[in-house]
Amino acid sequence: MRNAILAAGAACLALAAQPGAAQDGRLTVELNKFEDSDTGGCRAFFLFRNRTGTAFEGFEVSLAILDQGGVIDRLLTIDAAPLPADRTTLKLFEIPETGCSAISEILLHDVTSCKPQNAEEADCFAVMDLASRASAPLVK
């Protein structure tokens, strides 16, 4: 009996150690940092933590960039695809003609494309979480 319990425990540990076993079913979009660029714009570093268990061959979002007065300065569409399953992906995007210190907030305005690999477009809002480590929050 003791050997059977030990074998079952070892099997559970082996399953937990497999890639993807720690999936939480969420896709976290994190604005990690800002960096002023040589062109007078702001370079935004995003981390996409895909813990959904599904790879995305299409993933585009529309962002509203708000100035220090809370007024929308511009809309920016970013294409982050592909997003492999169970991986964290770093993507850099330029926000032209806007210094980083001029940005008070970034609003995720819309998910214009969320296409799982070999599947139809999906609604990703239900599985998305937003986070920011930069000076401006990233919000829905």
Residue 23 pLDDT > 90, yes or no?
no
| DSSP assignment of 103-117 | EEEEEEEEEEEEEET
Whether residue 18 lies inside any domain: the answer is: no
Whether residue 6 lies inside any domain: the answer is: no
Separation of alpha carbons 63 and 81, rounded Å: 16
Whether residue 62 lies inside any domain: the answer is: yes
What band does 13 get if pLDDT is binned at 50, 70 and 90? Answer: very low
Specify the number of domains making up the chain: 1
Query: pTM surpassing 0.75?
Result: yes
Report the CATH number that the domain containing residue 112 is assigned in CATH.
2.60.40
Whether residue 129 lies inside any domain: the answer is: yes
Tens digit of each residue's pLDDT (9 = 90 or more) over 68-121:
999 999 999 999 999 999 999 999 999 999 999 999 999 999 999 999 999 999
- Measured over the CA atoms of residue 101, residue 105, residue 111 and residue 117, the dihedral's sign is positive
Percent of the chain whose pLDDT exceeds 90: 81
Whether residue 38 lies inside any domain: the answer is: yes
Q: Which residues lie closer than 8 Å to 130 by C-beta, 6 or more apart?
A: 28, 29, 30, 31, 108, 138, 139, 140
Whether residue 88 lies inside any domain: the answer is: yes
Longest Cα pair distance anywhere in the chain, in angstroms?
70
Whether residue 121 lies inside any domain: the answer is: yes
Tens digit of each residue's pLDDT (9 = 90 or more) over 54-72:
999 999 999 999 999 999 9
Whether residue 9 lies inside any domain: the answer is: no
Domain carrying residue 80? 23-139
